[in-house]
Amino acid sequence: MLPDREMADIRALAGRERLTVGEWVRRTLREARTRMSVNDPEAKLKAVRRGSLYSFPTADLDRMLSEIEQGYRQRDRARENALRWD
């Protein structure tokens, strides 16, 4: 399927990670699938353009991140308190 030189390179790459060629290829293909979308890029652009026509409420980014972090801290404290009473 591949020229000998390419196959030798792939064997070497797989060997460095102590993987079979088959497992290396499967893993590499999975990684490529996560990096690249199988969806039509034009459909995504259309959705973004459509969304940009609306005016949604937003918050100051620093304030929003602060509120999110505060929520995480409250959740963590509640979990710690729950564990103490178990």
CA–CA separation, 52 vs 3, rounded Å? 48
Both tokens of 25, joined, read 């290829």
Exposure of 34 in the CB half-sphere (CA atoms within 13 A): 5
pLDDT grade for 86, boundaries at 50, 70 and 90: low
Residue pLDDT, tens place only, 42-54:
888 998 899 889 8
**Which of 10-19, 31-40, 45-54, 66-75 is least confident?**
31-40
CA–CA separation, 6 vs 40, rounded Å? 31
Share of the chain above pLDDT 90, in %: 59
Angle value at C-alpha 62, between 44 and 74, nearest 5 degrees: 100
